[in-house]
Structure 1
Amino acid sequence: MHISIRQLRVLLAVADHGSFSGAAHAIGLSQSAVSQGVRAVEESIGTQLIERSTRHVRLTPAGERLISPLRDALDRLELVLVQAQSAGAASQKVIQMASTPHLSGRLLSQCLADAARRYPELQVQLREQPQPAAIESVRRGTVEFGLAVGDDRITDLIQTRLLRDQFMLICRTDHPFARRKVIGLAQLRLERLILLATALGGRSALNSLLRGHGVAVEKAQEVTLAATAMEMVAEGLGVALLPASRLPMPEQLSLIAKELDPSPVRDIVLIRRKGIPMSDPAQKLHDLILKRVSGADDLDWERPLTLLIPFPEGGPVDRYGRVFGEILSRHLRQRVVVKNAVGMGGAQGVHELTRSEADGYTIGIAGNGATVFTEGGQTQGFVDVFKDLTFLSGLVRVPSVLLAGKHLPVSNLKELLAQARLHPRGLRIAAAGHGSSRVLAELLQELAHISLQVEHYDGLSPAVRDIARGKVDLVFGEPTGVLPLIQSQRGTAMLVAGSERCSLLPDVPCSGELGLEGLDTDGGYGLIAPASLPAQALAHLSGAVTDVLRSTEIAEQFERLGVKPDMRSGPFYAEFIRSEQKKWRTFNLSRKG
């Protein structure tokens, strides 16, 4: 019996896709080659495995009995072969890498040259293949990783985005589109389109978007080279949609590129197998490409990134920061060192950050107390948050819980307000820091028509300790900070400030439910860096932060802490700080009036 592993993989592909054409597209073979491969297996076994007709392709009973054990056997065999191949490649320092041809020339040439300079002992064998074949090479382990166009349908491989490639419209300078700034996709309905071939990748999302705007992609002319598309446009054969990475265009062709609305994009990604580690040499090259393309290749990647947390170790903000820092470290493949700089309600850490070098190796966390609830944008009079800081992003949105000490004979807000009105001097409420905890204490007095004695604390932890000792009666705090007292029955949650309940305290009503609308602040923390951060470092850090905050991992870990990721980008977060400063400045003036 003479059956190759490739022929068995062809049979599995037909079973998975239910058609010869689908299998051919997935593994990068012609339809006739797929048919021949299946027939060879059937002849060797001596029984029919696939039923073929003009309408369907399906497994025979014999085929169904074979497929599951065959898949398991091939997976085990492949793992053994891959491990042997990786061991051999590691000893020889030879790296097998796949890439689609239209990506490798532009994106990889500098990366491979850089690798040759930094790691002269490495040898790289690059295989240029059509997109389906490159993906299948990675999947089967004949290469360690590959460069391809991202595809959401590839769920069995890890895809790491290098860059987002925007499609542009290419037309002649005498075309009517040349006089417009932006071209709507619906305006392409009557145009003769020239597109890159489906086998080059990225076409499924583009086709879907075009069809959604009434453009018939089935009539488009397909080419395999961007240069061919440009030549055809220059000859008046239509307009082309090409990725921006294929520009600029030859000057002699008299062509112009225009933006599209909405703008189609494709992701250029590195792909590798799940559950099978790459060899050390391949990991070096993989990481170098990531850093080189991200524009961060000049940074010293052996140097750690410092994350300044302006609150005590073990407190709520410290927990948010350490969760974020751990995931960021894995994302960057760079060590992240956490440093706690405690004092003045978070302002001391912000001040220390402004004195660090603006080189992309020091970032920090800032709360509303240091960025919003200050006079004229000043933090304790020695930091101007808009002149001395770079806002990278939001980090976390945090609800506030009103906690009452167990020494108070209250179980709900109604009883609490009655106690407050009976007390001759008012209950004592701790203001943890200079942020939302203090402001919420003032809002509660105003909205509930009660008097409270406000006592200031440098952070939530000491305030919670004094609640447990009976030294103060109330505090507004973050869920993870007050939860230990609630669980040990030394404190009672009265309400959650705002219009939503907290996932960690689902039975505790929000202030909106209790008739205290307006008892709310947009509590949370953002990520900051020193002012005058170089554009390269800013782009690198902002991109990494965005990827981490959008990850499922951080969403799940933050949910366990009762908070949510804040994915507002740096400019949007800075604008939020401005609007919050204005809002609370008006509030303070109205109270003084």
Structure 2
Amino acid sequence: MKSIWIKALGLGLATCTAFAAAQDAYPSRAVRLVVGFPPGGGGDGVARIMGEHMARTLKQPVIVDNRPGAGTTLAPGFVATAPADGYTLLLAPDSVFGADKAMYQPNVKYDETSFTPISKWVSTFFVMAANKNFGVKNLAELKAKAAATNGPILVGSTQGPYPAMIFENFNRLAGFKLEMVPYKGGAPAVMAAVGGEVPLTFSVPSSIMPMAKDGKLVAIATTSPKRSTLADGVPTLADEGLKGFDVGYWFGLAAPAGLPADVAQKLFDASARALADPEVQNKLHALGYELAPSKSLAEFRTQAVEEGTVLRKTVERLGIKGN
């Protein structure tokens, strides 16, 4: 009987050891990276570039799962309720850490407590550009044009927290008014400016700069706090006299709340290796993004919550509501 008990104990220990080994073997199957944007856009491109490299580090496929809709809130809503096992991840815009909840109440149930922040990946900003025939090359000429027309200047733009912040800050600092003409996406807004439907637009560098190089638009200024190689030769709005102007956004990697620390570290390390690869850097830069890697899990956790809180309070103050 004693022999049987010892054998059973040994079998139990072996089973526990095998289970622990299986737990340590993350990932043992494909990882899903959920994206709240349709295929072909900037966010989708970031996910695919990063996912391809991370798959080599993790030695498992990283499958991009596009779930656009509901103002990009479908994807984070799905991830927030997924198992916290590292197999369902989110391409996380900064808005998921508080601003979405403020904008889309009562439909959005997630907030900054719903996710495990893993790493910041990239950031970008917006470029103000004018129709080539509008006769404006800088902010001073735009101000003169506004004075001559004795009314607001129309600007084609998407809706959301970032355009709202751009218009609020600009109209507060510039001494004349811009009026938003809403479009369903950044590309239609840019093409409206190219075609003369509106005289101005704000969009990301990857949408504006090719048009500016081809002479179809005139890049006036950026919303970034300092000049960037993403918009070579283009001054910032701060350079043009709007001191302190700074509106941009970032993407990072997140998982459902409660992700085990060792799994989070593996994903952080895979992110860091991808962002250190010159080929990945070149691809992300060509897509219109600057690298913004986190130094640690703890750093990104603090940053995500702090910046998310600031963005949420701005959304609440401006009364921004999603569609």
Please report the TM-score for the alignment, with normalisation by the length of structure 2.
Answer: 0.79
Alpha carbons 1:394, 1:570 under 8 Å: kept: no
Q: In the alignment, which residue of structure 2 is the partner of 1:418?
A: 144
Name the CA distance, whole Å, in 2 between partners of 1:423 and 1:344.
Answer: 38
Instruction: Provide the secondary structure at the position in 1 that maps to 2:83.
Output: coil
Name the CA distance, whole Å, in 2 between partners of 1:558 and 1:471: 31
The residue aligned with 1:500 is: 226
* 1:344–1:433 contact (8 Å) kept in structure 2: no
Flag the 1:351–1:467 CA change in 2: closer, same or farther, 3 A. Answer: farther
- Larger of the two Rg values belongs to structure: 1
Contact 2:97 2:112 in 1 (8 A): no
Q: Which has the higher contact order (CA 8 A, sep 6+)?
A: 2
Cα distance change, pair 438–311 in 1 and its aligned pair in 2 (3 A): farther
* Mapped pair 1:574 → 2:301: yes
Aligned residues of 2:99 and 2:315 also touching (Cα < 8 A): no
* 1:300-349 per-position Cα deviation (integer Å, ceiling 9, x unaligned): 2xx32222222232222222222212221222232222222223442232
Whether the aligned pair in 1 keeps the contact of 2:157 and 2:183 (CA below 8 Å) is: yes
* Aligned residue pair count: 299
Aligned to 1:549: 275
1-structure distance, mates of 2:103, 2:215? 40
> SS at the partner of 1:512?
coil
Q: 2-side partners of 1:492 and 1:346: how far apart? A: 30
Query: Which amino acid counterpart does residue 364 of structure 1 have in structure 2?
Result: L
After superposition, the Cα gap between the structure-2 partners of 1:433 and 1:379, relative to the gap in structure 1 and judged at 3 Å, is farther
Establish whether residue 462 from structure 1 lines up as the match of residue 191 from structure 2.
no
In structure 2, distance between residues paired with 1:393 and 1:469: 40
- The offset of 1:520, in angstroms, is 0.4
Distance in 2 between residues matched to 1:354 and 1:566, nearest whole Å: 24
Output the CA distance in 1 between the equivalents of 2:105 and 2:208. Answer: 27
**TM-score, normalisation: structure 1:** 0.46
Contact 1:296 1:540 in 2 (8 A): no
2:25 match: 297
Query: Does 1:310 pair with 2:42?
Result: no
Give the counterpart of 1:442 among 168, 171, 182. 168
Q: 1:479 Cα deviation (Å)? A: 1.2
Distance 1:436 1:308, change over 3 A: same
Distance 2:64 2:170 in 1: 35
Alignment of 1:138-153 (within 5 A): none
The 1:297/1:528 distance shift into structure 2, 3 A limit, reads same
Tell me if 1:563 matches 2:289. yes
2-structure distance, mates of 1:334, 1:465: 40
User: Is the alpha carbon distance of 1:330 and 1:458 closer, same or farther for their aligned partners in structure 2, counting shifts above 3 Å?
Assistant: farther
Residue 331 of structure 1: SS of its match in structure 2? helix
What amino acid maps onto 1:505 in structure 2?
Answer: A
Contact kept? 2:30, 2:62, Cα under 8 Å: yes
Distance in 1 between residues matched to 2:313 and 2:261, nearest whole Å: 35
RMSD: 3.0
- Correspondence 1:365 to 2:95: no
Pairwise mapping of residues 296-445 of structure 1 onto structure 2 (< 5 A)? 296-297=24-25, 299-300=27-28, 303-371=29-97, 373-374=99-100, 381-445=107-171
Percent identity of equivalent pairs = 26
**What residue ranges of structure 1 are gaps of 5+ in the alignment?**
1-116, 118-291
- What's the counterpart of residue 3 of structure 2? none
Take 1:395 and 1:372, find their aligned partners in 2: how far apart are those partners? Answer: 19
Structure 1 residue 392, shift from structure 2 partner: 1.2
Q: Contact 2:35/2:64 (CA < 8 Å) preserved in 1? A: yes
Gaps of 5+ in 2: 1-17
Q: What secondary structure, in the 3-state scheme, does the structure 2 residue paired with 1:471 have?
A: coil
2:310 aligns to what?
A: 583
When residues 371 and 438 of structure 1 are mapped into structure 2, their CA distance, relative to the original with a 3 A threshold, is: farther
Question: What CA deviation, in whole Å up to 9, does each residue of 1:207-233 have, x standing for no partner?
Answer: xxxxxxxxxxxxxxxxxxxxxxxxxxx
Give the superposition deviation at 1:540.
2.2
Question: Residues 410, 298 of structure 1: CA spacing in aligned structure 2 closer, same or farther, 3 A cutoff?
Answer: closer
